[in-house]
Chains A and B, each alone.
Chain A
Amino acid sequence: MKFPIWLKSYGPLSSGLYLGWALGTNDAANVFGTAVATRVIPFLWAGVSILIFATVGAVLEGYAGFQTLGKFGAMTPWQAFWIALSAALTVTLMTYWGLPVSTSQAIVGAIIGAGAVNGTLDLSPLGKVVISWVSTPIGAGIIAFLLYFILKPLILKFSKGLFGWDNFIFWGLLISGIYGAYSLGANNVANVMGVFVNAGAVSPFMGALLGGLSIGLGALTYGKKVMETVGGGIVRLSPYTALVVVLAEAITVHFFAVVGVPVSTSQAVVGGVIGVGFVEGVNRIDKQTVKKVLFGWIGTPTIAGILSAIIMFLVNLAS
């Protein structure tokens, strides 16, 4: 059977684009969840902001993540297709089973699983990646803790009355959401297109552009349902607390975009919520949520790795 050239060239990207779409639908809630669920910001504003700024973030700062994932070993475009598909299947299955899942951790697991079968695996970047994963909630927690103290006097200084306060929170939520969308694109585009860029299936610029757009389209087309279902992503937050948490999450995820390690925005949010909880003396995170984060670090890459290894083994067997 003869495939058209465009399908041969761009066909492998399909699984990555699907992964990007799925990532966008889920992670939109971590950026604009509380603001949309509480009707502070209309969904259309949030969706369009994510589409634009996730793409801008991916194109301007997504390249460091491509390089990190490339260090795990070389692959062909079609191997990249199967790896992205394994990660996407892991995300879909775990979501279906109600298990916590992180795309960042799924893709790394899938790369390692496939690399082990193909004999191309290089585990040298793994230490940096795991340290970044663990540092994400801790870093977001510390930043949220500090931001809580810094932001409040600042707001009260510049907006003395009730409506000034409201206005500040409204714009704060919008701007921090936009920054969160930018960070999401900059950091997580490597999950979506990293394997394809490293396999030479697409140029870094085109990979960043397509990856950013797929994340943005996921948020715009299906993000509303997720936002309305999960509200603030993890727990119900007050507008001020949501502002602090989203900003802390955006700063943390942006930092790791610069470092070049894709991390989980959901785990950054959990860290942020714990951080503000320390200030307010409220524990909004139960042990179950902490267990979910720990499972995300170990369980997700393990499941994705096994699935990817099985798929790659079968593909190698068939070809």
Chain B
Amino acid sequence: MIGGISTVVKRIMDHMSLVEKTLEAFNEVLKQYLKEDMDINELSGLMKLVHDLEGQADDMQEEATESIMHSRLLPETKVELMRLVDRVDGVANKAESIVDHVFLFAHLKFPEDMRGQLAQIMDITVKQMKAAKEMVKFLFEDFKKAKAKAEEVDEFESEVDGLERALIAELRKWDVSIAEKYVYLNFIEKLADISDAIEDVASVVEQIIAIRQI
């Protein structure tokens, strides 16, 4: 009875896939960036790919929002789904913002052990995004499974949080100027912010479920 549901689901999931691809491309950018012998041409190509994918995700967000608006879903559900799509898009925006602002300023030289931890943050974040995608798929089918996935997403964020704290503690020991420390700190925080943005998506899903279960 409720019109256009399959279109709504397809577009929301397509949007999530594009955001996921954006993160995967961003992960490749990071890996290239952290290399001692960074290939600037390859890095530029990967950065362009992140921009392109983020642009495609924006277009898909519009299509998803349009399909939600024109469906015969309950008004509350429409508002909640539009908020969800907006939060998902925020994840890709965070990745693009690092590409835009941080990488363009300087090539930060992290020590090898910290590079490993930074790459680990991004690997976990990519896994977290996959879990978030499954969580949203389950939201449409089974609240219980969606809730379990949301908890998984939260756990990934805690892992990232631990790594972020360890990196900052390490940074504190460095014997460099405060200004330089701040640039490195900013990089670490921005990277960990992507995981926070995915956790926000899980929070929206948890709220959608909670309102219906109270």
Q: B-contacting residues of A (Cβ < 8 Å)? A: 38-40, 152, 156, 160-163, 165-167, 169-171, 238-240, 280
Contacts and interface: CB of A to CB of B under 8 A. Distances in A.
Nearest to A153: B213
A40 B75 contact: yes
B176 interface: no
A38 B72 CA distance: 11
13 contacts: A40-B74, A152-B212, A160-B141, A160-B144, A161-B139, A162-B208, A163-B73, A163-B140, A166-B2, A170-B74, A171-B1, A239-B76, A280-B214
Contacts of B208: 162
For chain B, what secondary structure do more than half of its interface residues adopt (helix, strand, loop), or is it mixed?
A: helix
B143 A166 contact: no
A35 to B, nearest CB: 10
A169 B212 CA distance: 11
A145 B187 CA distance: 54
A118 B97 CA distance: 86
Q: Which of A38, A160, A238, A239 counts the most B-chain CB atoms under 10 A from its CB?
A: A160
A240 B213 CA distance: 11
A265 B69 CA distance: 33
B75 A38 contact: yes
A166 B144 contact: no
B5 interface: yes
B143 A169 contact: no
Nearest to A156: B213
Q: What 8 pairs between A and B have smallest CB-CB spacing? A: A161-B141, A160-B142, A161-B140, A38-B75, A239-B74, A166-B74, A166-B77, A162-B140
B27 to A, nearest CB: 30
B1 A238 contact: no
B75 A39 contact: yes
B138 interface: yes
Given A39-B75, A40-B74, A163 B142 contact: no
B140 A170 contact: no
Contacts of A152: 212-213
Nearest to A240: B212
Given A160-B144, A161-B139, A239-B74, A167 B212 contact: no
B45 to A, nearest CB: 39
Interface string B132-165: 0000001111111010000000000000000000
Contacts of B138: 161
A165 B2 CA distance: 11
A152 B209 CA distance: 13
Nearest to A169: B74
Nearest to A174: B1
Contacts of A166: 2, 73-74, 77
Contacts of A171: 1
B77 A162 contact: yes
A240 B214 CA distance: 11
Nearest to B80: A162
A170 B1 contact: yes
Interface string B46-78: 000000000000000000000000001111110
Contacts of A280: 214
A156 B142 CA distance: 10
Contacts of A169: 74
Contacts of B74: 38, 40, 166, 169-170, 239
A61 to B, nearest CB: 29
Contacts of B5: 163
A240 B75 CA distance: 12
Contacts of B146: 161
A156 B212 contact: yes
Interface string B173-202: 000000000000000000000000000000
A165 B212 contact: yes
A238 B76 contact: yes
Nearest to A165: B212
A250 to B, nearest CB: 20
A161 B143 contact: yes
B1 A167 contact: yes
B75 A162 contact: no
Given A170-B74, A239-B76, A161 B213 contact: no
A39 to B, nearest CB: 6
